[in-house]
Amino acid sequence: MINFKKRHFLLHLLGLPMLSVANPGHSVMTPPQALGPFYPSKLPLDRDADLTMVAGKEEQAAGEIVNLYGSVVDRDNTPITAASVEIWQCDAFRTYHHPLDGGGTDPFFQGYGRTVTNDKGQYRFKTIKPVAYPGRAPHIHVRISTDSKELITQIYVKGDPLNQKDFLLNSIADEKARQSLEIGFNRDAGGKTDELFAVFNPILS
């Protein structure tokens, strides 16, 4: 059973226009990254676009709430519709909800979510700002799939000092491609909400 807060978020996704997520005028392909060991071994029953609430539980996940959104396009800047977009990350206590990592610490964090791009190639998630995992800079895993294409990558917090030491991020030799994975996590300039906003516009080859 979906609780009220999760239902409100889902209605928000369906009923409100997406914020502007236009892609910059460049054709740097989004670089791939490793899938990692913590992609769900079994997809959870609750795997919608709101990772901050778990069905049947009233409390919200620990951590800073962030609205992650953007548009998926190809190299010609054409929106990719009906693409599957998945994200997964560790909780605010630095554990993944995966058996290999103890199953997670925060029972109110979904850990994994999936959505589908709309007719403009847009997607949106509600999750938490990523925190550092042992040996890694803060990051969120992303997997985008269509009938003919797949991109597995990771996104990072722009300006985080741990980015300079992250071996996976720095394995990308091309500076522009590497920087395309570092995105801002910013507060609403109007002060209407304490939630953060982050935009990631992946470009598939």
What does the mean pLDDT of the chain come to? 88
Phi, psi of 176, rounded to the nearest 5 degrees = -65, -40
In the predicted structure, residue 190 carries a pLDDT above the cut 90: no
- Give residue-wise pLDDT tens across range 56-66: 998 999 999 99
User: By residue range, what is the domain housing residue 179?
Assistant: 4-204
Average pLDDT over residues 125-151: 97
DSSP H or E run through 183: strand 182-183
Instruction: Please say if the pLDDT value at position 21 is more than 70.
Output: no
Q: How many CB atoms lie within 10 A of CB 205?
A: 10
Sign of torsion, CA 30 33 35 36? negative
Mean pLDDT of 162-180: 97
pLDDT computed for residue 46 by the predictor? 83
DSSP conformation letters of 97-146: SSGGGTT-S-TT---EEEEE--TTSEEEEEEE---PBTTB-SEEEEEEE-
pTM: 0.87
> Does the pLDDT at position 7 exceed 70?
no
Task: Name the band, by pLDDT with cuts 50, 70 and 90, for residue 24.
Answer: very low
Higher local confidence (pLDDT), 18 or 56: 56
Residue 19 has pLDDT above 60, yes or no: no
CATH of the domain at 81: 2.60.130.10
How many distinct structural domains can be found in the chain? 1
Provide the pLDDT for residue 23.
Answer: 44
pLDDT for 193 = 84
In the predicted model, what is the mean pLDDT of residues 50-73? 96
Mean pLDDT of 48-55: 95
Rounded distance between C-alpha atoms, residue 92 and residue 50, angstroms = 15
